[in-house]
Amino acid sequence: MHKRAGAGRRPGSVSFWSGIREELSGGTDVTDGWNARPLPPPAHGQPLPPAGGPPQPGSPWWSDALADPWRDPYAPTAVVVQNPGASAGPVPEAVPDPDAPRRSFTPILVICLVTALLAGGLGGTLGFLFAVKSGYGNGGGGTALGSTPQDPPAAANRAPDSLAGIAAKVLPSVVTVRVTGAIGTGFVVSGDGYVVTNDHVVEGADDTMSVVFSDGSTAPAKLVGRDPQSDVAVIKVAKSGLPAVAIGDSDAIAVGDPVLAFGSPLALRNTVTYGIVSAVDRTIEAGDAGTTRYYAAIQTDAAVNQGNSGGPLVNAAGQVIGVNSVIRSVGGNETEAGNIGLAFAIPINQAERVAVDIIDHGKARRTVIGAEVVTGGTSTSGARLRSVEPAGPAAAAGMKSGDVVTKLDGHVLEDGTDLIALVRKYDPGATVSVEYRRGTKTETASVTLVADSN
C-alpha cells in the first residue's frame, strides 16, 4: 500500500527535507520545524517561555511561521524576526509645504509691461520717420490710392550707365518713320532735324512721310538724299531743338560687347532689346528691286524684327555704333521673317560718312579699289579680279586681271563679295595692305583706296 510523501512521518525519521538549513545574513531564518527539538530547560530561577511563543534570544532554532508551504502541519513552529539593518536606498524627496507663502510675480509683470511700452514707442517713432522721409503725409493727408507721389519712387531712378539709364537717354532721339505702306525707324543726328535711316525704309516715299517721337508727338519729314548701295538715307524733320544721339566708333567694338537695339518692330514703338556683338566685319550682300547692297556688318543677337530697320545699335556708353538694317531668317518668305538671333547693322563709321556726304553734297561717295571682281560661286578661295582699271588703285599697286586677292588688311577673303564689302568700310584715301595670288606665286602690295566718280 502506497503512502503520500510526508504523511504519517515518525518523529526522528529521516526524509528529503531533513537537515536543510539556510542562513541569510541580516534576513529571516526559515525551517518547516518538523524536527524542532524541545527547548532546553530554563536556567534556575528563569520562567518558561509562553506556549507557542518565539524562542528566547540565543536560541539556534527559527521558523518562517505558518506561511511556509512545506511546513509539517503536525510539527511545532517558531518565528524569529531579526532587526532590519540601516537602509542604503536614496533619501526621499522633500515635499514642499503647500501652506508656505509663495514668491510674488508682480515685479516680473511690471518689467514686461514697461519693456513692451518702450518697444512700441520706438517702433512708432521709426515708422513715422520712415513715412515722412518717403513723402507720405505731405500736405496734411495721406497719398490717395491711384494718385501720383510728388517724388518718383526709388525703383524709377537708375544710374546713367545702367541699361535703363542708357535707354532713357537714347529713346528721345529715336523716331518711328512712317511712309506710304511701310514703317521703319530712324535717329536724330543733329538738333536742326536731320535723321538717319535705311534707304529701304524711305524707298518709294512721297510727301506724306512723317515721324513719331518717343513722347507720341508727330512731325512731317522730307527726304534729303539716299544711297541705295550702302542702304543709308537722310530725312529732315520740320522741328528744331531736337536731342541728338552720341556717335561712337564702330572700329573700337569687340565681339562680346553689350549692345541695345532701338526701334519699332512690328509697329511697336519705343522698343528696346538687349544683346551682344556676335561678330564684326560680317560681309553682307543684300538686295531687292534690282539694288545690291554691300557692307561689312556688325552682327548681333539683340532681337531685331521688321520695323527695326534704320534704328540705332547702341553700345554700353550710350553711343550709336551701327544702323540696324537686315536680319537672317530660316523661312523663304521675307514678309514673314522674324528674329532668330541673327541681325546685322551697318557700322556707324561707314553710315556717318555716307550721311555727311548726302547732307553736304546731296549724294554719297563710295570707296573703291579700281577693279571689277567675280561674284558668286567660284572654285577658288579669294576674290578673283575680272578686270583692273588702268588708272585705278589696284593697277597702281601692280595688280592685274586674273589675280586672286586672298587678304585685305589682314581679313581673309572667300569671294568677290567680301572684297567689295570690306573696301567700302574704309574712307577714301585710306591705305590698306593686300595679299594676292598670281598663278602659284603669292604677292603683297599696299593699295590707296579712292572714291568712285559717280
Residue 276 CB-density burial (10 A; 0-12 exposed, 13-18 middle, 19+ buried): middle
- Which of 199, 200, 250, 325 is flagged as catalytic? 200
Nearest one of 314, 342, 315 to 327, comparing CA atoms:
342
Q: Would you call 231 a catalytic residue per the annotation? A: yes
Block residue for cell numbers 532735324: 193
Name 175's bridge partners: 186
- Which of 309, 325, 415, 418 is flagged as catalytic? 309
**Cα-Cα-Cα-Cα dihedral sign, residues 423, 425, 430, 435:** negative
**Cα-Cα-Cα-Cα dihedral sign, residues 392, 396, 400, 404:** negative
**395/436 Cα distance (integer angstroms):** 13
Nearest one of 297, 300, 275, 299 to 286, comparing CA atoms:
297
Contacts of 391 (CB under 8 A, 6+ apart): 370
Q: Would you call 207 a catalytic residue per the annotation? A: no
Contacts of 132 (CB under 8 A, 6+ apart): none
- Which of 231, 301, 415, 418 is flagged as catalytic? 231
CA distances from 110 to 94, 124, 262 (A): 33, 21, 67
Contact 196, 210 (CB under 8 A): no
Instruction: Report the run of H or E that residue 411 belongs to, with start and end.
Output: strand 411-412
Helix, coil or strand: residue 171: helix
The residue type at 298? I
Q: Which cell numbers hold the place of 375?
A: 561674284
Residues forming the active site: 200, 231, 309
